[in-house]
Structure 1
Amino acid sequence: MHYVSVESLGKSYGIKPLFSNISFHIEEGDKIALVARNGSGKSTLLKILAGKEVPDSGKVWINKDVTVALFDQEPEFIDYWSVLNNIFHHDHPILNAIKAFEAANESEDPVALNAAIVRMDETGGWDFDSKVKQILGKLDIHNLSQAAGTLSGGQRKRVALARTLIDIGFEHKHTLLIMDEPTNHLDVQTVEWLEHYLNQEKVTLLLVTHDRYFLDAVCEEVWELDGDDLYIYKGNYEQFMERKAARIEQQASSIDKARNLYRKELEWMRKQPKARTTKSKSRIDSFYEVEAKAKQRLEDQQLQLQMKMNRLGGKVIELKKLHKQYGEKTILKGFDYTFKKGDRIGIVGKNGAGKSTFLNILQGIDQPDSGKVNIGDTIVFGYYSQQGLQWKEDMRVIEYVKTFAESFPLADGGSLSAAQFLQLFLFNPDQQYSYISKLSGGEKKRLLLLTILFRNPNFLILDEPTNDLDLPTLAVLENFLSEFQGCLLIVSHDRYFMDRLVDHLFVFEGEGNIRDFPGNYSQFRIWQKEQEELEELKSQAPPIIQAEKETATTASPAGKKKLSFKEKREFELLEEAIAALEREKTVLGEKLAAGQLEYSELQQISERIGKVSQELEEKEMRWLELSELAG
């Protein structure tokens, strides 16, 4: 089914053109990622498709049977309404029934609850209610009576995401879901859940995201908005990068050929041919086409990062027996760590686990309840915070940078003026004299990064640095950080970013427990899943074996050798095999007890029970041997 057609679309803000003359089509089932530099108009294009903004030129056609659902970076709420009313904002019988049921649950009014249950029965709302509860639970939305105006920025994003997913889940058969940076402010586990959810739902999707793992998991093609052109690439992000590089190389070759031809044709034009024959007129027309192509410039500027890092002394930072608690909530419980030169640490954990508090304690912004933070004399912090760019009054970009320093020292001994440094960060002269308030979200993030590096820090702390940065800028930032010689501490939900840059993790597990895990995020998730599978196998083991295992573990003497990797794997598989044999023996016994078998079948089952019993005994004996070694 054909969903959307766009022809010759154009949009400008003042004298600044965002895009012009772009055309595309969206079909049912398409899952598309839109990629472009900050300030290129990605969010504006999404709002035009959703009917929130009007283009300057061109046409947008949307199938009358298609409903467009927009998840915006800046969600709109009625602030004096509750979270419940903002989420269930449609007047629909099923949604009204669920809203009444959830409200009655919160109020604990038995009369209202009974009435709500009757309405749920009448509308058949129970099936959809389970999906609603899953969405609200996974997005950590529990206080439905809270006024929307009191929500934090991250909470607003979660409530908006819940509203969008609930909207597309119950009402419309044909929905175009448009999402602008849906993973911002979500912890990694929630991002993984959202990936799974979008893959399970049959939706047509157009999204802007900086999260490359999320992009690869959810989308099947990448659209790149580059100036006046929209390039379409089938496949994942890596394939897009390969094909983009090939396209740029081909364009460069084509321009070189045009320039060679232009030089020859220019000589002919300068001779001022008098004979205006049809042939010469055609050649003159062709000349102007060649001239236009020869004077083309490939706009493939890259953000450039280079700096002279302050010297890092022998002593970095020592954390000794740190304790921190807010009311009954424990953030740190006796945490010890000594940072070394070149440490590259990622911080992960659920929202609210205390990651930002830990960063503040490290820098002396907050104080621990007890314990010591000893910071080396040479440490210069660079803190990229979630709060973003802070300024007291609106000023021009270049004036803001000059409040930090007039010039920037380079690693080779030279220096750059504030204007030159801004140019490296892709702020052209016009943008340098723009007001900060007029910058896009991504441009403000880029300016924040610039002001942090202007101090030449040797201990970088990055709290969700990937939010609102475009993918080209992220790639350059990653390359810079991979060569950074100082210490690096990163809080991020972007798994690709973490995998590239960190070599071990602080995992905030709650209740003040922090696990120091040796490895990157993907390695941690593999280990975590293995632990979950092991726990599941243990819970499925027969009660007798569990009891024997506990006895064997208790009785095992100290000093026994540890299991090898191969023996550990055998031990895990034995538990699963024993459980399977127990189940088979039970089933076979039930068949014998039924007394409805032919003689031949009776004989086969009797033989099989004998073999299963023998095999079970052997495996249980081997399990006990390994259990003693493991103790």
Structure 2
Amino acid sequence: MSYLQTLRTEKLTKTYGEKTLFKDLDFIINEHDRIGLIGTNGSGKTSLLNVISGADHDSTGNIITSKTYTIGYLKQDPELDEKLTVLDAVFAGSQDIFNTIRRYEQMLDKYSANPGDSKIERQYLDAEAKMNEENAWTAESDVKTILTQLKIDNMHQKVSTLSGGQKRRVGLAQVLIQSPDLLILDEPTNHLDFDSIYWLQDHLAKYKGALLLVTHDRYFLDEVVNNIWELSFGKLYKYVGNYQDYVSQKADRVDREKESEHKKSQLYKQELAWMKKGAKARSTKQQARINRFNDLKDNVGNLQVDKDVDISLGQQRLGKKVIKIKDANLRIDNKQILKDFNVLIQGSERIGISGENGAGKTTLLNVIAEKIPLDSGIVDIGETVKLGYYTQQTEDIPEDKRVINYLSEVGQHVTDKDGNQVSVTELLEQFLFPKFMHGTLIRKLSGGEKRRLYLLKLLMQQPNVLLLDEPTNDLDISTLTVLEDYIDHFSGTVITVSHDRYFLDKVANRLLIFEGNAKIEEHVGKFTDLLNAQRNAKYAKSNSKKQESKNDNKSNEDVNDKETSKKKLTYAEQLEWEHIEDDIDKLDQENTKLQSMMVENGGDYDKLADLQAKLDANKAQSDAKMKRWEYLSQYLSD
């Protein structure tokens, strides 16, 4: 990774069809920035990431960086070669570090086969120097560590056999190992379990470059970022701090803008009254006032802010009997999902379901919705129950139908809890679809906007039992806030499958945790309280094992030393050993010289920054050489 780098944009603009996603954006990303980018679905977040990363060439404006500036980008759907193994796929990237490793391995093979060829020897030494320069010696072990932390255990498995979630984790490993100047992550926590999310939080906290990420995980934002950028109505608003700081600062900004808009409106009314009286003479002073009136007329009423939301729809009466599952057994593809499972779910309950991927969480919702039959046991659904099921896959939506017509299939209006009629137009606005979008063709919506429209249609049907399957995977933070508010006022039963800690804390107080192999544990309370208790238990257990391991290692040290001494250096490693100490001495001498030059140029910031960058790079090489010296020295023959 290069040092003291920034990325700057000038008048960055992106249009999609007739819609301007953002216009004339000017910003700077400094090397230690941790930026969380938020905004409603369709506001242009992913488009902005694509433009910054260079993946989108249809925008206008300038992106200014140094020639050495590097960007790593995790897309929501990583592009991986299906024919490769997991490990090979990670190293198949086009980034410099991967090219350096491949080049070194090629030259090492050639040099081992042709030790007397001076040309190949020079090429090998150049490749080795490049490995030192980029500190690439530990890349393979680092990748294996990252993949293990992301719960990819079989690294020789073909990419083609991986699930969508596993492919995302491989893509995440590929981008993390690059250590670029700017790391861009689009929904990095999707498909990660909680251990992996905690590990990723710690990993990013130690990251030396800049970070720009989009995520719906508000706890993750709180832990990782130091700036929030909000893309709203084509503008970029910047807030210093984490998500909690953003919520407070945005509220203050909106209040200030509303107050300013109110003052403009009052002044406009005064000027309008004056204009209606008519100005008998057209003096310069009066003409200036007329010009001011015209400016006000153009600017009043243009304030665009998120509206206050209160969706309190009516619903059918829900009796005491809701859902009862008794002695349930289910096996799918030779995998036991439910075994003698019993649960009673009553009215107004808030059930959160989480746990291992593939353990059967979605299957349980499908059992409740009577989409999958049990092998044995009883699913008893109350007679008054009206299910609303938000599935991970959106129903087929006619792409050439307009937004308002799609919802009108349910009805022209619905009834709220107070018996008042609410029009489809009002509901659309409450669900973050402004008026200008009501006649938009559905095919022009983003994927997230389609999911939001699908959710609104589901709620319009006024269910009294709501099943939600991973709603946070596709919905933006603003929509999730609306949904959380809806659930808070919802008098029916809500059953949610989710990995989102913040969302589960907001909408659930009774938990079903799927641990795999049909083991399902029930807990009462907040989800994060349960996670913290589990982490503390694991930490205590890990410390106990480490102490046992220390005791075992003491008795095995002599045996290990004997086994190590039996190994010998390869021919290429022997050549490397012969000049490695000279290389270290040379680097130390250069470092001393650089430090002297920094003292001499203490008043020249640009020169000082350049010297510091060279010194940091040299120290990294020196540290890598010392590690390599320690590694090679243990295999020397007596």
TM-score (norm: length of structure 2): 0.75
Question: Contact 2:75–2:185 (CA<8 Å) still a contact in 1?
Answer: yes
Whether 1:446 aligns to 2:446 is: no
Deviation at 1:142, TM superposition (A): 4.3
Distance 2:157 2:406 in 1: 38
Q: For residues 484 and 66 of structure 1, what CA distance do their matches in structure 2 show?
A: 50
Q: After superposition, where does 1:172-183 map in structure 2 within 5 Å?
A: 172=180, 175-183=181-189
Give the length in aligned residue pairs. Answer: 522
Pairing of 1:114-513 with structure 2 (within 5 A): 127-144=138-155, 148=159, 151-168=162-179, 172=180, 175-270=181-276, 273=279, 278-391=284-397, 394-513=400-519
Q: Matched residue of 2:231: which SS?
A: strand
**By how many angstroms is 1:19 displaced?**
1.6
Q: 1:561-602 CA distances to partner (integer Å, 9 max, x unpaired)?
A: xxxxxxxxxxxxxxxxxx9xxxxxxxxxxxxxxxxxxxxxxx
8 A contact 1:255–1:293 mirrored in 2: no
Q: CA RMSD in A?
A: 3.2
Instruction: Quote the offset at 1:416 in angstroms.
Output: 4.0
How big is the shift at 1:126? Answer: 6.2
Aligned to 1:72: 75
**What is the match of residue 30 of structure 1?**
33
CA apart distance, 1:361: 1.7
CA 1:199–1:402: 2 relative to 1, 3 Å: same
- Provide Cα deviations, 1:245-296, integer angstroms capped at 9, x if missing partner: 1111111111222222223333444555466555444444433333334333
* Corresponding letter in the other structure for 2:246: F
| CA distance in structure 2 between the aligned counterparts of 1:479 and 1:493, rounded to whole angstroms | 19
- Quote the Cα distance in structure 2 between the aligned partners of 1:14 and 1:227: 16
TM-score (norm 1): 0.75
C-alpha distance 4-273 of structure 1, shift in aligned 2 (>3 A): same
Q: Which amino acid aligns with 2:260?
A: S
Q: 1:61 to 1:479 in 2, by over 3 A?
A: same
1:604-625 CA distances to partner (integer Å, 9 max, x unpaired)?
xxxxxxxxxxxxxxxxxxxxxx
Distance in structure 2 (CA, Å) of the matches to 1:520 and 1:496: 10
Kindly indicate whether the alpha-carbon contact (under 8 Å) linking 2:472 and 2:480 is maintained by their aligned counterparts in 1. Answer: yes
Contact 1:323 1:332 in 2 (8 A): yes
Aligned AA (1:318): K
Tell me if structure 2 keeps the 8 A contact 1:389–1:445: no
For the residues of structure 2 that align with 1:541 and 1:525, how far apart are their CA atoms?
A: 25
- Displacement of 1:96 in angstroms is 3.6
Given that 1:252 and 1:298 are in contact with CA atoms closer than 8 Å, whether structure 2 keeps it comes out as no
**Higher relative contact order, chain-length normalized (CA < 8 Å, sep 6+):** 2
| Structure 1 residue 529: Cα displacement | 2.7
Between stretches 149-158 and 446-455, larger displacement belongs to 149-158
- 8 Å Cα contact 2:80-2:159 kept in structure 1: yes
Mark the CA change 1:370 to 1:290 in structure 2 (over 3 Å): closer, same or farther. same
Work out the CA distance in 2 between the residues paired with 1:302 and 1:80: 50
Say if 2:95 is the partner of 1:89.
no
User: Residue 251 and residue 510 in structure 1: after superposition, are their counterparts in 2 closer, same or farther (change >3 A)?
Assistant: same
1:455, CA displacement in angstroms?
Answer: 2.1
SS of the residue corresponding to residue 29 of structure 1 reads: coil
Amino acid at match of 2:77: E
The CA distance in 2 between the partners of 1:189 and 1:299, in whole Å, is: 37
CA shift at 1:27, angstroms? 0.7
SS at match of 1:213: helix
Residues 417 and 256 of structure 1, relative CA distance in 2, 3 Å threshold? closer
Shift of 1:505: 1.1
Cα distance in 2 for residues equivalent to 1:141 and 1:332: 25
Cα distance in structure 2, aligned partners of 1:260 and 1:34: 35
Residue of structure 2 in register with 1:558 after alignment: none
Q: 2:16 aligns with which of 13, 20, 36?
A: 13
Q: Which moved more, 1:504-513 or 1:526-535?
A: 526-535
Counterpart code for 1:337: V
- 2: CA distance, partners of 1:142 / 1:534: 24
Contact 1:380-1:458 at 8 Å conserved across structures: yes
The aligned amino acid for 2:15 is: S
Give per-residue Cα distances to partners, 1:389-428, cap 9 Å, x unaligned: 4337653333433444454333223434544543432334
Identity %: 40
Q: What SS does the aligned partner of 1:65 have?
A: coil
Where in structure 2 are the equivalents of 1:525-564 lying within 5 Å?
525-536=531-542
Query: CA offset at residue 540 of structure 1?
Result: 7.8
Alpha-carbon contact 1:316-1:340 (below 8 Å) kept: yes
Q: CA, structure 1 residues 457+228, in 2 after alignment: closer, same or farther (shift >3 Å)?
A: closer
- Please state whether the residue corresponding to 2:325 is helix, strand or coil: strand
Query: What is the letter of the counterpart of residue 86 of structure 1?
Result: A
Alpha carbons of structure 1 residues 454 and 297: separation in structure 2 relative to 1, 3 Å = same
Name whichever of 239-248 and 534-543 sits farther off: 534-543
Shift of the 329–509 alpha-carbon distance from structure 1 to 2, 3 Å rule, reads same
2:598 equivalent in structure 1: none
SS of the residue corresponding to residue 68 of structure 2 reads: coil
Match of 1:3 in 2: 6
Distance (whole Å) between structure 2 residues aligned to residue 354 and residue 254 of structure 1: 53
List per-residue Cα deviations over 1:221-242 (Å, max 9, x = no partner): 1112222432211112122111
The one-character-per-residue Cα deviations of 1:108-155 (angstroms, maximum 9, x if unpaired) are xxxxxxxxxxxxx98796632222112222333345565545544323
Distance 2:91 2:542 in 1: 37
- Do structure 1's residue 44 and structure 2's residue 34 form an aligned pair? no
The residue identity in structure 1 corresponding to 2:497 is V
TM-aligned CA distance change 1:286 to 1:57, over 3 Å:
farther
Kept in 1: contact 2:5–2:69 (CA 8 A): no
Aligned to 2:596: none
SS at match of 1:249: helix
Q: Is the 8 A contact 2:398 2:442 kept in 1?
A: no
Contact kept in structure 1, 2:254 and 2:305, CA below 8 Å? no
Distance in 2 separating the partners of 1:271 and 1:228? 39
2:616 corresponding residue in structure 1: none
State the distance in 2 between where 1:98 and 1:499 align.
50
Q: What is the SS of the residue equivalent to 1:167?
A: coil
Once residues 360 and 23 of structure 1 are traced to their aligned partners in structure 2, the CA distance between those partners, rounded to angstroms, is 48
Query: Which residue of the partner structure matches residue 590 of structure 1?
Result: none
Q: CA contact under 8 A between 1:325 and 1:332: conserved in structure 2?
A: yes
Structure 2 gaps of 5+ residues are: 107-126, 552-638
Specify the SS of the correspondent of 2:318: coil
- Output the CA distance in 1 between the equivalents of 2:153 and 2:543: 32
How far off its partner does 1:156 sit? 3.1
- Post-superposition Cα deviations, 1:358-395, rounded to whole Å, max 9, x if no partner, equal 22122221122222211111112111111234337653
Kindly indicate whether the alpha-carbon contact (under 8 Å) linking 1:30 and 1:220 is maintained by their aligned counterparts in 2. Answer: yes
Partner Cα distance (2:280, 2:299) in 1: 26
Asked whether the equivalents of residues 345 and 502 of structure 1 are also in contact (C-alpha less than 8 Å), the reply is yes
The answer (yes or no) to whether the contact 2:20–2:234 under 8 Å persists in 1 is no
Alignment check: 8 A CA contact 1:302 1:426 kept: no
What is the CA deviation profile of residues 409-448 of structure 1, one whole-angstrom value per residue up to 9, with x for unaligned ones?
A: 3322343454454343233454333332321122111112
- Structure 1 pair 182–534 and aligned structure 2 pair: CA distance change class (3 A): closer
Which blocks of at least 5 consecutive residues in structure 1 are unaligned? 101-120, 544-578, 580-631
| Helix, strand or coil at the partner of 2:456 | helix
Instruction: For 1:280 and 1:393, locate their aligned partners in 2 and report how far apart those are by CA, in whole Å.
Output: 55
Q: Which residue of 1 aligns with 2:618?
A: none
Distance (whole Å) between structure 2 residues aligned to residue 542 and residue 31 of structure 1: 39
d(CA) in 2 for partners of 1:226 and 1:532?
42
